[in-house]
Amino acid sequence: MHILGIETSCDETSAAIIEAHKGDNQVKLLSNIVSSSIPFHAKTGGIIPEIAAREQLKYILPVIDQTLKNVHISEIAAIAVTVGPGLIGSLLVGVETAKTLAWMWNKPIIPVNHLYGHIYANFISPLPAVARDNIIIFPALALIVSGGHTDLVFMKNCSTLQWVSGTRDDAAGEAFDKIGRLLGLPYPAGALIEKLAKTGNQKRFHFPRPLFYKDTLDFSFSGLKTAVLREVEELYKREGKPLSHQTICDLSCATQDAIIAVLVKKTLIAAKKYQVKSILLGGGVAANQTLVEQVKLSALRSALYAKIFFPQKFLCTDNAAMIAATAFFQNKEVPWKDITANPELYFD
Ligand code: KG4
Ligand code: ZN
């Protein structure tokens, strides 16, 4: 069967087609188009919701059209669309478009939780197609690390999900972005902080690792942002000039170290607690190579015999392929009249 996925929860406008057959444990990606309004938001330090939605209105039909032109299939079985969480104006663009297409083509709609999408990005077979030597074995633990969320989720099998813990304040990606702003970096800052951290001096700064020693699987990142702010103010007072490039690299390195240390520690504790056989990473921050390496290393060191999975980079950040993949595994068709956007959607 072929599923058309539509994703417009934040600043991306994306459409994708996946192919899968009943009983498959992964799906094949046939086409995935992503158009982003990020350049409009880079200087303002965050998404401007109205601009994001206006751009999505412009691009949604061309993006779907191009996705369909990329594949040679006779028909699609269903339309999968992100219904939340996200920005209401942005979500509505995708949801209303999906409803219109479902009505016109007489196809069912499968409403998808965007957060599930970041998990199911791990179930999309790699491109270019290569035989995957390791298949996800259950039970599994998923770490979702995106701009808006940081959650640990237990997976009993490929369709049963149970929320374990989440952040008490800022998300990991949000921490990267807010600290990036303090350092004068464009939004979103995560990928750039990773790049700058490579030439940073790891020993120059040390930031607190929130909740690191606390007996909880929760996360908290807002204190880290405050610690970096204090350090930046202190440096400015002492040096009386803008931060040098090297100082920005050193601060990036310390920021990344602090965020990753907490993510890895809580993930490993949860993985042991739930005796999982696989750990899945997902969301924009999962594109961070140091995070992936640290999770692998810590799993080895703690003799946790779990396989580590992470999506290809283009599937870590928001895309419609992961929404179509989720629809395949969570297949819950709903009549188009009953579909509504829900900006506050979380885990059941
Ligand atoms: O999943 P995503 O595309 O959007 C949300 O659903 O929020 O994630 C975007 C987030 C941003 O906060 C961005 O700074 C972060 O992912 N990000 C990274 C990297 N690439 C993107 N954070 C750390 N390292 C990266 N390489
Ligand atoms: Zn996302």
CA of 147, nearest ligand number: 1
Write down the pLDDT at residue 123.
97
Does pLDDT of 257 surpass 90? yes
| For the chain, percent of residues with pLDDT exceeding 70 | 97
Looking at residues 59-63, what average pLDDT do you find? 97
Looking at residues 252-276, what average pLDDT do you find? 98
Give me the chain's average pLDDT, please. 95
Q: Half-sphere exposure of 248 toward its Cβ, with a 13 Å CA cutoff?
A: 18
CA of 174, nearest ligand number: 1
Q: How far is the CA of 107 from the centre of ligand 1 (A)?
A: 33
275 band by pLDDT with thresholds 50, 70 and 90: very high
Looking at residues 55-80, what average pLDDT do you find? 96
Whether a cis peptide bond, with omega within 30° of 0, leads into 128 is yes
Does pLDDT of 132 surpass 80? no
* Residue 287 beta carbon below 6 angstroms from any ligand 1 atom: yes
β-strand pairing of 307-309 with 278-282: parallel
Does pLDDT of 193 surpass 80? yes
Write down the pLDDT at residue 131.
52
Largest CA distance in the chain: 67
339 band by pLDDT with thresholds 50, 70 and 90: very high
CA-to-CA separations, 23 to 99, 120, 188, 230, 324, in angstroms, rounded? 28, 15, 38, 54, 16
Dihedral, 68, 70, 73, 75 alpha carbons, nearest 10 = -10
Does pLDDT of 208 surpass 80? yes
Q: Cβ–Cβ contacts within 10 Å for residue 81, how many?
A: 32
240 band by pLDDT with thresholds 50, 70 and 90: very high
CA of 326, nearest ligand number: 2
Write down the pLDDT at residue 127.
62
Beta-carbon contacts of 14 under 8 Å, excluding residues fewer than 6 positions away, are 5, 6, 7, 8, 32, 33, 34, 35, 63, 318, 319, 320, 321, 323
Mind listing the pLDDT tens digit for each residue in 286-323?
999 999 999 999 999 998 989 999 999 999 999 999 99
Does pLDDT of 7 surpass 60? yes
* Residue 188 beta carbon below 6 angstroms from any ligand 1 atom: yes
Looking at residues 59-74, what average pLDDT do you find? 96
| For the chain, percent of residues with pLDDT exceeding 90 | 89
Name the closest-CA residue to atom 14, ligand 1: 190
Does pLDDT of 43 surpass 90? no
For ligand 2, a single-atom ion, the residues with CB < 5 A are: 146, 318
Write down the pLDDT at residue 230.
98
Q: How far is the CA of 127 from the centre of ligand 1 (A)?
A: 21
* Residue 322 beta carbon below 6 angstroms from any ligand 1 atom: no
Mind listing the pLDDT tens digit for each residue in 160-187?
999 999 999 999 999 999 999 999 999 9
* Residue 318 beta carbon below 6 angstroms from any ligand 1 atom: yes
For residues 96 and 81, give the distance between their C-alpha atoms in angstroms, rounded to a whole number: 10
Write down the pLDDT at residue 40.
75
Closest CA to 221 of 274, 148, 291: 148
Closest CA to 5 of 237, 323, 301: 323
Give the global pTM: 0.95
Name the closest-CA residue to atom 13, ligand 1: 190
Write down the pLDDT at residue 277.
96
* Residue 177 beta carbon below 6 angstroms from any ligand 1 atom: yes
Q: How far is the CA of 38 from the centre of ligand 2 (A)?
A: 14
Query: For tokens 């009943």, what's the residue?
Result: 22
Mind listing the pLDDT tens digit for each residue in 71-130?
999 999 999 999 999 999 999 999 999 999 999 999 999 999 999 999 999 999 876 555
For residues 18 and 36, give the distance between their C-alpha atoms in angstroms, rounded to a whole number: 21
3-state SS of the chain is CEEEEEECCCCEEEEEEEECCCCCCCEEEEEEEEEECHHHHCCCCCCCHHHHHHHHHHHHHHHHHHHHHCCCCCCCCEEEEEEECCCHHHHHHHHHHHHHHHHHHCCCEEEEEHHHHHHHHHHECCCCCCCCCCCCCCCEEEEEECCCCEEEEEECCCCCEEEEEEECCCCHHHHHHHHHHHCCCCCCCHHHHHHHHCCCCCCCCCCCCCCCCCCCCCECCHHHHHHHHHHHHHHHHHHCCCCCHHHHHHHHHHHHHHHHHHHHHHHHHHHHHCCCCEEEEECHHHHCHHHHHHHHHHHHHCCCCCEEECCCHHHHCCCCHHHHHHHHHHCCCECHHHCCCCCCCCCC
For residues 247 and 268, give the distance between their C-alpha atoms in angstroms, rounded to a whole number: 31
For residues 295 and 345, give the distance between their C-alpha atoms in angstroms, rounded to a whole number: 28
Does pLDDT of 133 surpass 80? no
Q: How far is the CA of 86 from the centre of ligand 2 (A)?
A: 9
